[in-house]
Amino acid sequence: MPRFKLVDGVSIQLTADEETARDAEEAAYAAGAFDRAIAGVREKRDMLIKETDYLALSDNTLSTEMTTYRQNLRDITNGVTTVAQVNSITWPTKP
């Protein structure tokens, strides 16, 4: 199926060279799918851990439930090697 670009408001069909270049761009982007997905998981994990960091200060004693929650977050990427696994991650519930 031909693709089109919009140049100054006019829709123009891609040349064969442009189609090839775009295919390569999209292939490269697709190849990075797992890296992007796992980066998103790490980002969310880090934010969730940060939210409870104040409970781990030296003048406070972490509950067993909170210790388990934070450890589960740290382990969230263990054994995850595919995008499908990333998408099926079950996040622990904050106690």
Partner 1 sequence: MGLISNGTTIFDNGSMASGFSDDLKFISKATASASLSVDITSGIDSTYKEYIFMFNNIHPSNDDITFHFQANASGGSGFNETITSTQFRATHGEDGSSASLDYLTGADQAQGTSYQLLAGSVGSDNDQGVSGYLHIFNPADTTFVKHFFGAFQSIAHSNRCNYQQVAGYFNTTSALDEFSFKFSSGTVDSGDIILFGVS
Looking at 5-13, 52-60, 66-74, which segment touches partner 1 (CB under 8 A)? 5-13
74 binds partner 1 (CB under 8 A): no
Question: How many Cβ atoms from other residues are within 10 Å of residue 70's Cβ?
Answer: 20
Q: 1 or 57: whose CB is closer to partner 1?
A: 1
**Cβ–Cβ under 8 Å, residues 76 and 85:** no
**CB of 91: closest distance to partner 1 in angstroms?**
9
Angstrom distances, CA of residue 31 to CA of 24, 26, 43, 77, 88? 10, 9, 20, 19, 20
Looking at 22-30, 59-67, 72-80, which segment touches partner 1 (CB under 8 A)? 22-30
